[in-house]
Structures are given as C-alpha cells and as structure tokens.
Homo-oligomer: A and B are copies of this chain.
Amino acid sequence: MKVDIEAIRQAQNRIKPAVVETPLLSAAYLNDRVAATVFIKPENLQPIGAFKLRGAYNRMCQLDKTEKALGVVAYSSGNHAQGVAYAAKLLGMAATIVMPSDAPSIKIEGTRKLGAAIRFYERGSESREAIAEEIAANTGAILVPAFDDPDIIAGQGTCGAEIVAQLTSRKMVADAVLSPCGGGGLMAGASTAVKAMSPDTQIYGVEPQGFHDHYKSKIAGCRMSIDPGARTFCDALLATTPGELTWSINSQTVDEFLQVSDDEVAYAISYAFRYLKLVIEPGGAVALAALLSEKLDVTGQTVCIILSGGNIDRNTLTECLEKYPTP
C-alpha cells in the first residue's frame, strides 16, 4: 500500500469515532517573540495526550473479526502504547504492550488504566522486538508497529491534512511546518499531506541533539544511525535509525532537519506552561524549542508547529519550571 494523500483521506474517515480534530491555536506572545504568525497544533489534547492514536486506530480498525479476537501486541515507550491500548478498548480487543521499565510513570499508568497488559523489559539487555514477536507467536496477537507501516503513517498524516484544511479555512498558507521527528511516522504522514495539499510549504523535522539520525541520513543520502551513547530526556524520540518506509518518504518530503538541546526543550516546556497554558512533554516540545531558540529564521512568515504530546511526569515538568522560571 502506498502512503499518499488518498490513503490519508481514507484514514481521516476511519479515525473520526476515536480521534479529536485538534484545533489550530494562536498565541499573541509567541507571535511577538518570533515576529511571525505562529499556529500551534496541540496534539497533546488528544484523548491519550498524544497524536499516536491516529495511526494506531487507523491500523487496528481495519483488522478483521478473526484478527480482532486474537488481540494486538505493540512495543513502545509510552505514547504508541497508550494509542494502541485506547484503540483496543474502543474496538473491544485485548492488547499487550512491551514497555521499557524506565518509561515515564504517567505513560505506564495511562497504559495500564486503559486495560492493556504490560510486559516490561530492560532497555540495555533485552530486545523489545524479540519479546513482542514471541508474544505474537504464542498468542496469535497482531503486531501493531509504532511507525514503519503504511496504515500507521497514513493515520498520523491526518494531523497534517487537518493543519492545511484549518489554515485554508482561514484563507492562509503556511510558509513552514515544523514537526517532531523520532521514528518518522508523524513526520512522514504529516509531510505527505502538507506537500500534497500545500506544495509551497517548507517542511522541517526537529530531532533532539544526538538523536539526529534523520539529519545524518539526509546529509548522507541513505539511512544512518546515531552515534552510540547519546542521551536525551525526549523519551518519545529515542529512535536511533529512520524506519525503512518512513525514510523512503521523509527523504523526499522533508526539506530540512533541525536539532535542539535538552535545555532548549526544557525552556520550551516552561514557556508553554507560562504563555501557552499547555502541558507538553519533552518530545512534544521540540518544534516549539526550535522556534524559540531560533534554529530557523521565520521573520514575517506563517508557521505551524506540531506539539505532538503532553505525557510528562510532574517531576520532569517541575524541573523544567525551576530551571527556567521566567522564560
């Protein structure tokens, strides 16, 4: 299956019962700060606090009756976990999630609360892929991939389609769209939709410093991995290599990749608390961080940033607010 605007349109119809069409917000202080017209796509306002439900539901609602009865399995540090768990609940399916033992507690509790079974693994010593495959083999459960799957990508793409439609209804065209980029699923879906509907819009992917595998791949012209030993508190963006399918798309649709440091992300989280009144998790704040730390000159432009999630532990939030009390 090809991921094109038609697939994304079909996904839009499928996900309607489960997914919120998040509004496009504007914030006067932010506009002043960066001397641009900024629109915010707050995917933290989805039922599970992140965009991941879009792809998970689009994939899972297409399973047939027999497959549904077998249930699903997925591995995820937390947002895809909750997306799969929530979709499973809506569709009346069982779900098992393979999660790292050091996932943020808000994500672990959220997944559990949605009724999914959790199998923890140790990041250093265990393979989440192997564990998930074993569960699938033993139970017949269908594996729901986190990003490297056409239905997942098409589902995430609905976010980009909404952005363009919402701007069009305001008679506006974005000069630039900035999206967080981890495994590249949201990036691939959103960029496909935006480029199809608004070909003059520039697309930027934002990665945490050290996790710039898409940036490296763009420079090299082929899929590259990050250097070992990298660390970031953007727990949602820990992918070390672009997905095969996501890269085949992103290498064509994304104009440039930017990087932000953990400090720049912490600043953005505190800024969002103070001026946007939104709770954003580290991985969800990278596009805002790129804007605030001027990785891109957007003077006079119309810009849209995707805030992809808000599942942050209170301690992490508190630390960001203490570090940058008056952003």
Contacts and interface: CB of A to CB of B under 8 A. Distances in A.
Contact of A314 (B275, B278, B321): B321
Nearest to A29: B47
B45 A277 contact: yes
Nearest to A109: B326
User: A interface, how many residues as a size bin?
Assistant: 20 to 34
A277 B274 contact: no
A194 to B, nearest CB: 21
Contacts of A28: 47, 86
A139 B1 CA distance: 72
Contacts of A23: 23, 25
15 contacts: A20-B25, A20-B26, A27-B47, A29-B47, A45-B276, A45-B277, A49-B277, A277-B278, A277-B279, A278-B279, A279-B279, A314-B318, A314-B322, A314-B325, A317-B321
Contacts of A275: 49
Interface of A: 20, 23, 25-29, 42, 44-45, 47, 49, 86, 106, 109, 273-280, 310, 314, 317-318, 321-322, 325-326
A326 B45 CA distance: 18
A106 B45 contact: no
A315 to B, nearest CB: 9
Nearest to A86: B28
Contacts of A42: 277
Contacts of A27: 45, 47
Given A279-B273, A279-B278, A25 B47 contact: no
The 8 closest A-B pairs by CB, nearest first: A277-B310, A23-B23, A28-B47, A44-B277, A314-B321, A277-B279, A318-B318, A273-B279
